């Protein structure tokens, strides 16, 4: 069976690179599943959960917002953040979420709000992925 | 005339200084390698961004975006990327000298790094915001700076944004450079790595026909902020590499100077010691002769 090469890169590193059977992405227009031989597609992802299916097992990752390039044999994700489910520290993410929410309730300038909102999205995505596993 | 004890004390203190500068040199060179490594690990991201950029740009035709709007420049902003700490030779001095070239009345400054904000405060120039970045810059730090600049530009507070930073040319040379940031002119390929040259090559046209979701234009509009964020991230890495290499060189010459000084002082000490011995011998022999 044909496989897809899934690559996830952030500006800091190449986080993930493997041959997978199927990828589920948090697209801007809803969740989308990608199988091999997909038509070439460029799209955006929002912060959320990315699932890579490999040999009947699902691997979960939390991703930030970014872009995806899909060709018949490759899915390349470029994003601000990507963390494998196993590497997520739940207490840390929870703490980050609380901190971000607390800061949002304060009065902030626009640029601070944007930064805090982004980190909130990131921590929520991480938490979602981590809790799903159980 | 200093006594032998004074000289001995000085030698000891210079030796201590040399030890410290030597250690700082080693630390700086290790950190520089790290910064270079970090810049290189952005390569896959840059490559992918170029692919997306070229695919999208090829499908949008005559696009316009608020971030690309060219307006007459009444007010401009400059992002200065300096170091937090000193002891890196003339790096900050050279960098901040460039600041004087901007008109005080029509320029606001955004700083990253403590030295720049101190300078702006001291010279009583308008400071719009100050950011910090760590020894190994995070992308989120770059994003905060870039976002702030984009907001200022989009709200019409400024009509142009430039970035002033120390460009890493090689270990020996770092050059202050002003790079234009907003409005976005020609979209160039982004590059990761400290090549010393600003701006990449033109985009390579992609051959694959892509579907776009949402439309290509919308995708393009959303891509531009990321393109800018990545540029700032590269600038931060570049500035960090410059800082560490400048510090490494400065500390190396400090160590060399200290070693030379130890040599000179040791020579002086030995001369003085010999002179003392000779004098004592003279005294003893002349006393013996007087007695005899």
pLDDT tens-digit readout, B166-189: 988 888 888 998 988 888 876 666
Asked if residue A24 and residue A48 are part of one domain, the reply reads: yes
Which pLDDT belongs to residue B268? Answer: 94
Q: Is the pLDDT of residue B199 over 60?
A: no
Asked if residue B239 and residue B126 are part of one domain, the reply reads: yes
Q: Is the pLDDT of residue B197 over 60?
A: no
Asked if residue A107 and residue A69 are part of one domain, the reply reads: no
What's the length of chain A?
134
Asked if residue A70 and residue A120 are part of one domain, the reply reads: no
Q: Is the pLDDT of residue B95 over 90?
A: yes
> A12–B211: do the CB atoms touch at under 8 Å?
no
Asked if residue B127 and residue B104 are part of one domain, the reply reads: yes
Asked if residue A108 and residue A46 are part of one domain, the reply reads: no
In a domain, B32, yes or no: no
In a domain, B35, yes or no: no
User: Is there a cis peptide before residue B183, judged by omega within 30 degrees of 0?
Assistant: yes
Which pLDDT belongs to residue A120? Answer: 77
What is the domain extent for residue B203?
43-247
- Residues of chain A short of pLDDT 70, as ranges, are 1, 107-112, 114-115, 133-134
For residues B235-256, average pLDDT: 92
Asked if residue A58 and residue A34 are part of one domain, the reply reads: yes
Both structure tokens of B88 = 């890196």
pLDDT band for B37, please (50, 70, 90 cuts).
confident
As for how many domains chain A has, the answer is 2
Asked if residue A102 and residue A81 are part of one domain, the reply reads: no
Which pLDDT belongs to residue B259? Answer: 95
Q: Name the most confidently modeled range: B35-39, B53-57, B257-261.
A: B257-261
CA distances from A99 to A83, A120, B87, B134, B203 (A): 20, 9, 36, 21, 41
Q: Is the pLDDT of residue B243 over 60?
A: yes
Asked if residue B270 and residue B138 are part of one domain, the reply reads: no
Asked if residue B204 and residue B129 are part of one domain, the reply reads: yes
Q: Is the pLDDT of residue B192 over 70?
A: no
In a domain, B201, yes or no: yes
Q: Is the pLDDT of residue B205 over 70?
A: no
Shortest Cα distance from B37 to chain A (angstroms)?
10
Q: Is the pLDDT of residue B201 over 60?
A: no
> Which residues are CB-contacts of B70 (< 8 A; sequence separation ≥ 6)?
B183
Which pLDDT belongs to residue B198? Answer: 45
Measure CB to CB from residue B45 to each of A9, A29, A41 and give the nearest one.
A9
Shortest Cα distance from A84 to chain B (angstroms)?
18
Asked if residue A73 and residue A17 are part of one domain, the reply reads: yes
> B129–A111: do the CB atoms touch at under 8 Å?
yes
Q: Is the pLDDT of residue B147 over 50?
A: yes
What is the domain extent for residue A64?
4-85
CA distances from B168 to A10, A14, A61, B99 (A): 23, 24, 35, 19
Which pLDDT belongs to residue B215? Answer: 80
Asked if residue B128 and residue B62 are part of one domain, the reply reads: yes
Asked if residue B127 and residue B150 are part of one domain, the reply reads: yes
Residue percentage of chain B with pLDDT more than 70 = 91
Q: Is the pLDDT of residue B27 over 70?
A: yes
> Which residues are CB-contacts of B77 (< 8 A; sequence separation ≥ 6)?
B107, B108, B109, B110, B128, B149, B152, B153, B157, B158, B160, B161, B162
pLDDT tens-digit readout, A47-62: 888 999 988 888 888 8
Whether A41 contacts B78, CB under 8 Å: no
Both structure tokens of B178 = 């002003």
Whole-model pTM: value is 0.83
B98 is catalytic: no
Asked if residue A75 and residue A25 are part of one domain, the reply reads: yes
Shortest Cα distance from B267 to chain A (angstroms)?
52
> A76–B138: do the CB atoms touch at under 8 Å?
no
Mean pLDDT of chain B: 87
Asked if residue A21 and residue A33 are part of one domain, the reply reads: yes
């Amino acid at each position: 069976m044909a496989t897809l090469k899934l690559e996830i890169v952030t500006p800091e590193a190449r986080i993930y690179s493997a041959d997978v059977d199927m990828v589920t992405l948090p697209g801007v227009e809803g969740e989308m599943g990608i199988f091999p031989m997909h038509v070439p597609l460029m799209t955006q992802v929002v912060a959320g959960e990315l699932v890579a299916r490999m040999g009947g097992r699902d691997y979960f990752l939390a991703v930030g917002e970014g872009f995806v390039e899909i060709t018949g044999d490759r899915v390349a994700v470029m994003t601000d953040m990507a963390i494998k489910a196993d590497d997520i520290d739940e207490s840390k993410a929870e703490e980050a979420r609380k901190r971000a929410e607390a800061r949002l309730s304060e009065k902030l300038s626009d640029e601070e709000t944007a930064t805090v909102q982004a980190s909130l999205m990131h921590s929520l995505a991480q938490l979602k992925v981590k809790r799903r596993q159980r | 005339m200093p006594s032998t004890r004074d000289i001995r004390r000085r030698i000891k203190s210079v030796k201590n200084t040399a030890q410290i500068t030597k250690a700082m040199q080693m630390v700086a060179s290790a950190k520089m390698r790290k910064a270079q490594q970090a810049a290189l690990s952005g390569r896959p991201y840059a490559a992918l961004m170029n692919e997306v950029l070229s695919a999208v740009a090829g499908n949008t035709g005559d696009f316009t975006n608020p971030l690309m709007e060219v307006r007459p420049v009444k007010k401009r902003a400059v992002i200065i990327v300096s170091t937090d700490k000193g002891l890196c030779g003339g790096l900050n001095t050279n960098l901040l000298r460039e600041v004087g070239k901007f008109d005080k009345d029509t320029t606001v400054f955004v700083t990253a790094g403590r030295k720049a904000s101190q300078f702006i405060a001291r010279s009583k120039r308008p400071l719009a915001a100050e950011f910090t970045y760590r020894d190994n810059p995070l992308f989120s730090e770059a994003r905060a700076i870039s976002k702030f600049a984009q907001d200022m530009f989009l709200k019409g507070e400024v009509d142009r944004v430039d970035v002033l930073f120390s460009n890493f040319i090689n270990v020996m040379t770092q050059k202050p450079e002003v790079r234009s940031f907003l409005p976005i002119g020609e979209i160039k390929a982004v590059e990761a790595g400290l090549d010393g040259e600003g701006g990449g090559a033109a985009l390579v046209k992609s051959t694959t026909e892509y579907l776009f979701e949402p439309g290509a234009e919308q995708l393009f509009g959303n891509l531009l902020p990321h393109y800018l964020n990545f540029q700032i991230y590269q600038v931060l890495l570049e500035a960090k590499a410059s800082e560490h290499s400048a510090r490494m060189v400065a500390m190396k010459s400090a160590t060399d100077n200290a070693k030379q000084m130890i040599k000179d002082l040791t020579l002086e000490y030995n001369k003085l010691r010999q002179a003392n011995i000779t004098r004592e011998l003279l005294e003893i022999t002349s006393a013996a002769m007087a007695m005899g």
